[in-house]
């Protein structure tokens, strides 16, 4: 540009002194904090430079009187230099991807926001890179500068959708972080509730410090790279342009800024200027402008050029400047006043210091600027920009750039949405949930107040819409050159959402099985509402559209189930859900929910997720427990990121949305209820569906019902199935009575009760005592004297139908043995045999190693996971979701009476019962021969593989503090216990189980204390907090035998049990050595 842009040692901050001057403030507390965090020296030096500017009184303000507008610049359209493709081998493309978009209400990488046609910023960026490489015929190097806030989300995205890019060396460079400063003292701020809030990104000016501190600058220079093209990830028009690269190289500029001519839409953004004192090209950002200069700052005829943040940098020249200043580039300061907790306006007042990478233009000798067409600048900073980009005013080119639709005549529509009503992305998406309006023929759109638009809405010319009411009004059809006041127009009627003020309620952190608390707590004011809103907000933030597909709701029928369903429906409508499936009478077993999500159609109605109202096997009733969990579109429990987001939302929630006037739905009879908005803009359909239909149909496709019926019809075979007054009753009737033609007398306790008839619907030897006695056993699984005949087969289900207990005639099958037997006999079941047999099996860590032996014998992939079905779900979805190895068909199980396969993404109690019956049927093909019993099959299995003697002791209702102290003591003593001799055993390893997921790489820690003996025996301790009150300590004992196969379990494990009680010292910590339940 011909201006003197050499850098002087003074900070050019203008002549205004800061009212915050604090010459006594020391940088040392910041240095100590940053060094402790492992921040690179280059970043510390850069921050120290900015900090010193702050304490010296500089504000970063550049007065209008000290600058002159930039004269004409070179336009890239006028460049005639022939493009030189050889330069590409020396060029690296870097996208800045550190922004969370908090100003638009986002709490994840802004680049993961959907832009157009289902593609996010990162989708289009990845496609641009691949297209660029194809067009240029060279593997042009690509890099991302992520922040500590965006790294995980971004890398997971690339690994999932673009694994080849994710695998490239040096894809990511991490932006540094700097301390937020107390607004008065300038010492590092503190935030006890969330220490991560003590840090902030240092602005994109950190690019230089990050390149230096990470070693990437030296590595790039060593690799022969000379040129770097940098742009923001939200500017999809900024692709590598070979003509501009050639111009940059041939002019021998050290630094080149791409500028655009300012329009009214850009008037609040920074601009390029010439500093009067030394004729340097400088960049003045909005934060550097004094209030009295605002008019001049926004005068687009005076300051004509703005920085697009598309920068071209000579890496060798950058290295020279870095060396000159001792390892960093000193950049002008940008000061932002915030609160330490961005979600709490009352938290500590802080200062965040930033720098802008474009400001480095004054640091490079021979820097220049060029004017580029608007096609190279399509960023999204506000919802105005996002609406424009999503609309038909922009189209996507063949090389995946968004450009202005030619039909716009070269001038983008000016969009001015109400800044208070449409500040957040969620507000815009709520307004456009029926589709994006047409803007291609629009010149200016001004909206004040809340409105809704859709695909049928077409704005033409100059349109202004005002709504003074608090109810959103629908705008449809063609609106041309009009000024409308829709305040008095008809609204939504029964579909009108109400925003209800609320506040966070402590203790709403969901576990692996959702949120479980006392029923009365759920029934207290706003408790359920807060959690449901937090889930829905997390689901939307995760990329799911609530207005597409169906929300499924059902539960195990416990007390408060019916009222909770009505609340969820009303809140779902208020949040944009258009279709619901509700289980008949509100009943849906947990596996049935998974089956319905996966199997029920048509495709356009497919469920995107489900609320399951259950506390599983916990007691029910007004004085007992209630629970709620969310399952996602694969049918499985919410993944960790969604649970974390939900919990974060519960800690900051300020309001929830509900349609209070939406009618109560009769959930006792299958059928559809349609409720339309008064203005005709939308309608909601609530369909009450038969609870058993989808699940039963799926099970019929898995098992040989003909063979099972033949078994059940044998004179010498009898069975009893105890649903324990839980949700499984209707399912057991649909299968055994309606499908298999058995008398209803084979069913026990099959009428669901909201308090499980006062019982504890947990299918184990202690709580299923009625069934256990009928099967000729006591609560320890020992045989008892019986006067009459004992059924050949017995089974029990828990409250929500996902657990199972299997019994033979006077014979208890442990869940671990049950899993191993089913795996060994999987080919008896059509689902597995017709797919070529099992490929993989998995068990939870506390489950016995019985199945390990079968997996090894059958050469199956085997996994030991933490407790929690989501870990099994990842393995099942390894191929279809994560593009990894296919492990299906697949069987998995837990010692806590949970067994299942990949037919759903939950454990499935009735599946396990049918699996056993199918195996029995396969072992009894000839009814004229003696019955092969459950006991026969298990003993044959032991004879083949050996026996894993195993039991679990549950200490329920323990004091949480004492239980945690006990676990911590064992955790701290693992090293000391390793190698120790206890009784006749030697502890080969004592540890705290850690699991690295082979599918998604996630890490689960502190999953249980293990004492692994040298002979293969195990003692394990886990702490469960899923009960409504207190903590449950679980102690697992296991010993493997190949010869002594007929011992009583208690006798076989007697010494190990004594050792276990000594190792944990539960008597001291919890006051008892007597378990509530022994399994």
Instruction: Name the residues annotated as catalytic.
Output: 616
400: region left, alpha or beta (phi > 0 left; psi from -120 to 50 alpha): left
- Residue 204: partners with Cβ closer than 8 Å, 6 or more residues away: 96, 98, 145, 232, 309, 355, 356, 357
Q: How many Å apart are CA 1032 and CA 964, to the nearest integer?
A: 10
Name the phi and psi angles at 56, rounded to 5: -80, -10
> Cβ-count burial of 501 within 10 angstroms (0-12 exposed, 13-18 middle, 19+ buried)?
exposed
8 Å CB contact between 1064 and 962:
no
Which residues are paired to 893 by β-bridges? 843, 899
* Integer angstrom CA distances of residue 580 from 271, 534, 608, 635, 1041: 51, 19, 10, 16, 53
- The span from the first CA to the last CA of the chain, in angstroms, equals 82
Q: What angle do CA 802, 804, 810 make, to 5 degrees?
A: 170
Strand pairing class (119-120; 414-417) = unpaired
Helix (H, G, I), strand (E, B) or coil at 560: coil
Tell whether the torsion through CA atoms of 394, 395, 396 and 398 is positive or negative: negative
Q: How many Å apart are CA 1003 and CA 1024, to the nearest integer?
A: 19
> Cβ-count burial of 565 within 10 angstroms (0-12 exposed, 13-18 middle, 19+ buried)?
buried
Helix (H, G, I), strand (E, B) or coil at 373: coil
Q: How many Å apart are CA 900 and CA 915, to the nearest integer?
A: 9
Report the candidate in 425, 459, 43, 435 with the shortest Cα–Cα distance to residue 213.
43
Report the candidate in 813, 866, 858 with the shortest Cα–Cα distance to residue 842.
866
E strands present in 213-277: 227-232, 255-261, 271-275
Supply the DSSP symbol for 700: H
Name the phi and psi angles at 155, rounded to 5: -65, -40
Name the phi and psi angles at 394, rounded to 5: -125, 145
Which pair of structure tokens corresponds to residue 845? 């860590």
Q: How many Å apart are CA 121 and CA 154, to the nearest integer?
A: 11
Cis amide prior to 889 (ω within 30 degrees): yes
Q: How many Å apart are CA 784 and CA 680, to the nearest integer?
A: 69
Q: How many Å apart are CA 660 and CA 408, to the nearest integer?
A: 43
E strands present in 225-348: 227-232, 255-261, 271-275, 281-284, 305-314, 334-339
Report the candidate in 495, 452, 526 with the shortest Cα–Cα distance to residue 660.
495
Q: How many Å apart are CA 104 and CA 646, to the nearest integer?
A: 19
8 Å CB contact between 504 and 529:
no
- Residue 66: partners with Cβ closer than 8 Å, 6 or more residues away: 14, 15, 275, 276, 277
8 Å CB contact between 281 and 3:
yes
Which pair of structure tokens corresponds to residue 436? 């994006």
R_g of the chain computed on alpha carbons: 33
Q: What size, in residues, is the chain?
A: 1079
Q: Token match 């504000």: residue?
A: 59
């Amino acid at each position: 540009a011909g201006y003197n842009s050499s850098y002087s040692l003074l900070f050019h901050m203008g002549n205004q002194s800061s009212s915050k001057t604090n010459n006594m403030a020391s940088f040392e507390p910041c240095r100590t904090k940053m060094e402790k965090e492992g921040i690179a020296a280059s970043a510390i030096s850069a921050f120290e430079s900015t900090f010193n500017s702050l304490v010296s009184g500089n504000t970063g303000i550049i007065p209008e009187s000290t600058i002159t507008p930039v004269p004409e610049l070179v336009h890239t359209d006028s460049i005639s230099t022939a493009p030189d493709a050889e330069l590409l081998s020396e060029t690296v493309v870097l996208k800045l991807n550190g922004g969370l978009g908090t100003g638009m209400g986002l709490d994840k990488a802004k680049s993961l926001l959907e832009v157009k046609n289902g593609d996010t910023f990162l989708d289009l960026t990845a496609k641009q890179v691949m297209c660029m490489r194809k067009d240029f015929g060279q593997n042009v190097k690509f890099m991302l500068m992520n922040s500590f806030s965006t790294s995980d989300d971004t890398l997971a995205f690339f690994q999932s959708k673009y694994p080849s890019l994710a695998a490239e060396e040096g894809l990511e460079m991490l932006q540094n972080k700097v301390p937020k400063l107390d607004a008065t003292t300038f010492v590092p701020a503190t935030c006890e509730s969330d220490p991560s809030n003590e840090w902030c990104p240092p602005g994109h000016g950190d690019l230089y410090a990050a390149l230096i501190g990470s070693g990437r600058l030296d590595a790039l220079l060593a690799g022969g790279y000379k040129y770097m093209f940098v742009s923001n990830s939200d500017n999809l028009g900024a692709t590598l342009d070979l003509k501009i690269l050639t111009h940059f190289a041939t002019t021998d500029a050290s630094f080149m800024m791409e500028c655009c001519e300012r329009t009214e839409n850009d008037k609040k953004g920074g601009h390029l200027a010439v500093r009067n004192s030394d004729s340097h090209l400088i960049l003045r950002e909005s934060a550097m402008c004094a209030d009295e200069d605002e008019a001049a700052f926004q005068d687009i005829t005076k300051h004509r050029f703005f920085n697009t943040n598309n920068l071209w940098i000579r890496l060798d020249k950058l290295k020279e400047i870095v060396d000159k200043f001792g390892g960093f580039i000193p950049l002008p300061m940008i000061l932002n006043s915030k609160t330490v907790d961005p979600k709490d306006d009352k938290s500590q007042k802080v200062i965040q210091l930033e720098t802008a990478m474009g400001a480095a233009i004054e640091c490079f000798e021979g820097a220049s600027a060029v004017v580029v067409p608007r096609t190279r600048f399509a960023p999204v900073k506000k919802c105005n920009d996002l609406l424009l980009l999503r609309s038909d005013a922009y189209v996507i080119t063949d090389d995946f750039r968004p450009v202005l639709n030619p039909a716009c005549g070269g001038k983008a529509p000016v969009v001015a949405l109400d800044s208070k009503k449409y500040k957040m992305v969620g507000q815009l998406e709520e307004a456009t949930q029926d589709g994006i309006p047409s803007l291609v023929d629009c010149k200016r759109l001004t909206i004040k107040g809340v409105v809704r638009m859709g695909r049928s809405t077409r704005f033409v010319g100059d349109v202004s819409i005002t709504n003074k009411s608090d109810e959103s009004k629908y705008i449809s059809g063609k609106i041309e050159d009009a000024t409308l006041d829709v305040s008095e127009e008809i609204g939504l009627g029964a579909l009108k959402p109400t925003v209800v003020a609320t506040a966070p309620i402590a203790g709403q952190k969901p576990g692996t099985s959702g949120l479980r608390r006392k029923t009365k707590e759920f029934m207290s004011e706003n408790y359920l509402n807060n959690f449901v809103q937090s889930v829905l907000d997390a689901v939307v933030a995760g990329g799911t559209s609530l207005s597409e597909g169906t929300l499924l709701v059902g539960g195990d029928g416990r007390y408060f189930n019916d009222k909770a369903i009505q609340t969820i429906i009303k809140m779902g409508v208020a949040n944009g859900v258009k279709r619901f499936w509700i289980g008949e009478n509100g009943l849906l077993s947990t596996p049935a929910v998974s089956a319905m999500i996966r199997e029920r159609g048509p495709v356009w109605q497919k469920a995107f997720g489900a609320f399951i109202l259950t506390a599983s096997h916990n007691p029910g009733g007004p004085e007992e427990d209630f629970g709620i969990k969310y399952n996602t579109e694969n049918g499985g429990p919410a993944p960790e990121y969604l649970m974390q987001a939900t919990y974060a939302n519960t800690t900051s929630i300020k309001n929830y949305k509900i349609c209070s006037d939406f009618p109560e739905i009769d959930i006792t009879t299958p059928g559809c209820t349609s409720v339309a908005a008064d203005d005709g803009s939308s309608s909601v359909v609530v369909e009450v569906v038969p609870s058993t239909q989808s699940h039963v149909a799926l099970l019929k496709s898995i098992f040989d019902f003909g063979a099972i019926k033949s078994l059940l019809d044998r004179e010498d075979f009898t069975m009893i199935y105890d649903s324990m007054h839980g949700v499984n009753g209707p399912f057991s009737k649909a299968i055994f009575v309606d499908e298999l033609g058995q008398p209803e007398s084979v069913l026990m306790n099959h009428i669901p009760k909201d308090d499980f008839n006062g019982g504890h619907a947990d299918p184990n030897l202690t709580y299923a005592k009625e069934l256990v006695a009928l099967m000729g056993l006591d609560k320890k699984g020992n045989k008892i004297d019986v006067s009459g005949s004992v059924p050949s087969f017995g089974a029990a289900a828990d409250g929500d139908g996902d657990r199972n207990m299997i019994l033979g005639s006077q014979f208890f099958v442990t869940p671990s043995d049950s899993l191993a037997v089913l795996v060994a006999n999987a080919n008896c079941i059509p689902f597995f045999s017709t797919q070529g047999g099992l490929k993989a099996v998995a068990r939870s860590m506390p489950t016995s190693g019985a199945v390990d032996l079968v997996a090894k014998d059958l050469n199956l992939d085997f996994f030991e996971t933490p407790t929690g079905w989501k870990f099994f779900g990842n393995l099942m979805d390894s191929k279809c979701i994560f593009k990894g190895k296919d492990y299906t068909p697949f069987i998995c199980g837990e010692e806590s009476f949970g067994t299942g396969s990949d037919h759903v993404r939950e454990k499935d109690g009735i599946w396990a019962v049918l699996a056993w019956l199918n195996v029995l049927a396969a072992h009894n093909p000839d009814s004229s021969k003696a019955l092969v019993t459950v006991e026969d099959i298990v003993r044959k299995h032991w004879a083949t593989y050996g026996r894993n003697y195993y039991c679990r002791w549950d200490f329920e209702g323990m004091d949480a503090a004492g239980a945690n102290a006990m676990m911590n003591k064992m955790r701290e003593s693992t090293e000391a216990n390793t190698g120790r001799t206890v009784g006749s055993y030697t502890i080969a390893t004592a540890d705290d189980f850690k699991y690295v997921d082979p599918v998604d790489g996630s890490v689960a820690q502190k999953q249980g204390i293990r004492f692994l003996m040298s002979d293969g025996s195990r003692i394990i301790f886990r702490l469960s907090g899923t009960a409504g009150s207190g903590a449950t300590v679980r102690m697992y004992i296991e010993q493997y035998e190949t010869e002594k196969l007929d011992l009583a379990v208690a006798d076989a494990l007697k010494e190990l049990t004594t050792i276990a009680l000594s190792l944990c010292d539960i008597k001291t910590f919890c006051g008892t050595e007597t378990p509530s339940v022994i399994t």
